[in-house]
Amino acid sequence: MVDGIRPDVAFVLAALRCDAHAERAQRDAAAGVADWAAVARLALTHDVAWWVERALPSDGVPADAEGVLRATTRAVSVSALAGARQLAELHDALDHAGLRAVAYKGPALAADVHGAVGARRFTDLDLLIAEDDRTRAIAAMRALGYASPHGLSERAERVYSRWEGVTHLARADDLPVELHWRCQAPRYGGPQDPADVVARARPCALGGGAVLVPAPEDLGVLLALHGVKHGWSILMWLADFVAAVSRPGFDWDVFSARGAAWGVRRALHFAVLVARELTALEMPASVQADALRDDRAAFLAGAVSARLTMAADAPDIGAESTPRYDLQWLEGGWARVRYLALAAALPTPQERTRAPLPDALLPLVYPMRAWRLMRHALGRRA
């Protein structure tokens, strides 16, 4: 664990711990807190009010700070129940269409990993499907009234989502849905077609029924990749990862082997080192040793830990989803070449909105992207 950090930060991090010494760490951290309002603000900033409220000492916390945390967790729980019902409806509709869909993140993750559907805030619902099932899944959701929230035609949606692996759908006042037919955008490598993840999924009780959720080791890898991709900018993502890999029976050998097979070992090393540094994550000695031997992962984990603990000398490793940051955690030369090639070739969401094309001109999407990049490069030289 990081030493010499602010008391409010120390308590919030202690609240996320799942190891055998978590309760003692929380008591010790609470003894050092003088400003509980700062604890509440930090918890709300990082969407970890549920964890922090559960770790509060029985006395000594001002009513206003405790009230803010309770009000937040209550509001999240109410929203989560509505999201759980919507997710259960979606799952049943896809199941009736003969499709196997896996609930990822959102209320299913809260129920599966944290044991409480209202544990974590979410703003959309995520489903994983095998790539071959994409067309039928979209058709089944359109039959329920879902459509592109951006007004894209089916052809435009297919063109734009091809290299992202996710289709965005929305319906009236319900939560938007992200239908993933790749585990993550191809520029990041790692697992692509989720077919194996979908096949290994298992049921989880939710919304009065059951939905499919990823197998524990698959979920551990997916959460590690999600947190790494976003630079661990929100502590909730760290809390998710730590809780997922700390469950009884979690197979660290399978977790490591899956990371190696998917070509994302550095991302897993990065994830476990951040979790070890900030939440004292317990793991086999062999897993820790492998991670520590990865100098780049160790540097990145140290930089993120310093930033999250608000250290004055935190190294600047770049912002999430930028080449400067991403090229540091991607593993191997080919992965970096692929990232740069796809990042250069694909139009950004802003470009699509700013200059939408009719269906007949969609083949021009990629040449127009190349032209914009060339014009920008020439403009900078001038």
Domain that holds residue 377: 349-381
pLDDT tens figures, 2-32: 567 999 999 999 999 999 999 999 999 999 9
Confidence of residue 308 (pLDDT cuts 50, 70, 90): very high
**Does 122 reside within a domain?**
yes
Q: What is the pTM of this model?
A: 0.91
Residue 373 has pLDDT above 60, yes or no: no
Mean pLDDT within 326-333: 91
288 in a domain, yes or no?
no
Reading the block at residue 378, the tokens are 């020439």
pLDDT 10s digits, 31-70? 999 999 999 999 999 999 999 999 999 999 999 999 999 9
Residue 257 clears pLDDT 60, i.e. is over it: yes
Q: Predicted confidence band at 185 (pLDDT cuts at 50, 70, 90)?
A: confident
Lowest mean pLDDT among 186-190, 327-331, 366-370: 366-370
The pLDDT of residue 334: 86
Count of other CB atoms within 10 angstroms of residue 26? 23
* Percent of the chain scoring above 70 in pLDDT: 86
Given a cut of 50, is residue 382 above it in pLDDT?
no
Number of domains in the chain: 2
Question: Of the residues 177, 192, 214, which one is the last residue of a structural domain?
Answer: 214
Decide if 278 is inside a domain: no
Residue 181: inside a domain? yes
- 66 closest CA partner among 77, 55, 78, 76: 55
Backbone angles phi, psi at 64, to 5 degrees: -70, -40
CATH number of domain containing 178 = 3.30.460.40
The answer to whether residue 113 is domain-embedded is yes
Q: What is the mean pLDDT of the chain?
A: 89
Last residue of a domain, one of 214, 230, 254: 214
Whole-number percent of the chain with pLDDT over 90: 71
pLDDT at 149: 83
Q: Is residue 344 domain-resident?
A: no
What is the helix (H) or strand (E) element at residue 147, kind and residue range? none
- Strand 202-206 relative to strand 209-213, pairing: antiparallel
On the CB side of 290, CA atoms within 13 Å amount to 19
Please, which residues bridge with residue 125 across strands? Answer: 177
- Give the ranges where the chain is alpha helix by DSSP (H): 7-15, 22-31, 36-45, 49-55, 63-96, 106-109, 134-143, 154-161, 195-200, 216-229, 235-245, 252-261, 265-279, 285-293, 295-308, 323-329, 333-345, 349-354, 365-381
Q: Distances from the Cα of 269 to the Cαs of 22, 171, 224, 264, 273, in angstroms?
A: 23, 39, 9, 9, 6
Residue type present at position 8: D
Instruction: Average the pLDDT over 275-287 and give the result.
Output: 97
The answer as to whether 231 is a domain residue is no
Given 193, 214, 235, the domain boundary residue is: 214
Does 250 fall in a domain?
A: no
